[in-house]
Structure 1
Amino acid sequence: MSLAQPLVPAPVLADGVAAFEAHAYDRALAVFRPLAEAGNPEAQAWLGALHAGGTGVPASLTKAFEWYRRAAEQGHGPAATNVGAMLAMGQGVAQDRAEGARWLERAAAGGDVMAAYNLATLLAKGDGLSADPARAAALYRSAAEAGHYPSQARLGHLYAQGIGVERDRVEAFAWLSLAAGHGVGTALNALEEVIREMSAEEKREGAARAQARRSEPGRIAPIPA
């Protein structure tokens, strides 16, 4: 599972973000901290990120979780994703997969793609909560359609194996091709296995679907699987 990055900063945070990008972390901290303490959720999310990475401050997942949670409680989507992921993994807080899943549900319902991916991972594994392959597949698909490469790889695998969806070599080929094209190694290996079973017509259809989806702009950058 992976943690999300803060949303694009509001104008009031521009100086802090500029300082962060210039690696002037002391200056970034000086901007973010008072805003965060005053209740600004964007600044709280950035402060959580600084503590999570040990950037300009000593690394502390406990403090990172505290700031992410304060932002999440105000409706900050990526912060809610981080809260859910940290609860699920027991990072900076006692592990509680059920509570983590609730935060991920909240963030995914708000449209956060990384939350959908992380929640799908929990549901696919049934790790700490009831497995739900069909729901996992639906969540992976929502993230895959938004341009999230690891989700494309996972969805392709599910179609190849018929897990949570009806087995479909063409769909598997399309999604695995997209993920493999962006360097997801597991997708390339799975794609080679699928291709061995496909007819020439199926390969043409799979390539056409992949090309149609490739032309759709992705909304997010890839995160580690």
Structure 2
Amino acid sequence: MLSAKASVENGSPLADAVAAYNRDDFDEAFALFETLANRGDAEAKTWLGVMYAHGQGVASSLQMAFALYLSGAEAGNVLAQTNVGAMLAMGQGVARDEVEAIKWLTRAAEQGDQYAQYNLATLLSKGQGADADPRAAADWYRRAAETGHYPSQARLGFLYANGTGVEKDRVEAYVWLSLAAQHGVGTALNALEGLVGQMSSDEKRAGAAAVSKWRSRTADVSVHARLTPMPG
């Protein structure tokens, strides 16, 4: 599962609801979010969508989750926009519509959402919902990779290794595959093992130095509140 941490004012009703959710008191969280959602709170609607999607404090319903996410998305909530895009792309809780998915994912990606950037890149790389655009896909993977999104780091490494959407570069491939492999992305580890045998000593040294730099800059990815990403 994927996640976004809520940024809420301490002591606010929304903060109380988030606190209940984070301590796994889903019945209390659902009641609090529902009250706020009924008052038009876009973030509360988004959290309710999360709870319906995962059956937390309520029977699971992807249809209800999508409706709530859409309401939050239309009000400008970035997490909701990301999940609306993902659900449209996969046909979860709504009829599949990749063109509409591109629209919502682009909105969220442009606001810096890692998961939207990854999913948008995936669609663009496959030509789903828009003409295939390997260069644009590589750019979105890079944006997410640079902020610590491990699947995007792996995907960017593959692109550099194969010269897809970017100029082929073994050092760049080594950097991004290494970062992803260190966080448990098995496909990245397998690709890295094959890549190392093709690299010169100078390339390996340059790659190792760059890995150290990026490791200190990339962010952790937390574990609640989002849908599973689309397959890469």
Query: TM-score under structure 1 normalisation?
Result: 0.94
What aligned pairs does 1:18-57 form with structure 2 within 5 A after superposition?
18-57=19-58
Corresponding residue number in structure 1 for 2:6: 7
The 5-angstrom pairing of residues 1-225 of structure 1 reads 4-5=3-4, 7-10=6-9, 11-218=12-219, 220-221=221-222
In 2, distance between residues paired with 1:182 and 1:213? Answer: 13
Change (3 A) 1:8 1:117: same
Q: How big is the shift at 1:193?
A: 1.2
Read off the aligned partner of 1:118 and give its amino acid letter.
N
Deviation at 1:13, TM superposition (A): 1.2
In the TM superposition, residue 176 of structure 1 has moved relative to its aligned partner by 0.5
| Separation of aligned partners in 1, 2:156 and 2:99 | 23
Distance 1:35 1:142 in 2: 34
Cα distance in 2 for residues equivalent to 1:86 and 1:9: 26
Distance in 2 separating the partners of 1:201 and 1:170: 9
CA distance in 1, matches of 2:195, 2:218: 26
The Cα shift of 1:7 comes to 3.0
Instruction: Give the drift of 1:113.
Output: 1.3
RMSD: 1.7
* Distance (whole Å) between structure 1 residues aligned to residue 181 and residue 40 of structure 2: 42
- Amino acid in structure 2 at the alignment position of 1:68: Y
| Structure 1 letter corresponding to 2:127 | G
- Residue 50 of structure 1: how far off its partner (Å): 0.5
Gaps of 5+ in 2: none
CA contact (8 A) 1:6 1:46 kept: no
CA contact (8 A) 1:7 1:78 kept: no
Q: Give 3-state SS (helix, strand or coil) of 1:58's partner.
A: coil
Count of aligned residue pairs for this structure pair: 224
The Cα shift of 1:18 comes to: 2.0
Structure 1 residue identity aligned to 2:139: A
Relative to structure 1, is the Cα distance of residues 83 and 4 closer, same or farther in structure 2, using a 3 angstrom cutoff?
farther
Asked which structure has the greater RCO (Cα within 8 Å, sep 6+), the reply is 2
| Separation of aligned partners in 1, 2:19 and 2:128 | 40
Distance 1:218 1:18 in 2: 23
Task: Give, in whole Å, the separation in 2 of the partners of 1:62 and 1:73.
Answer: 17
> What SS class does the counterpart of residue 217 from structure 2 fall into?
coil
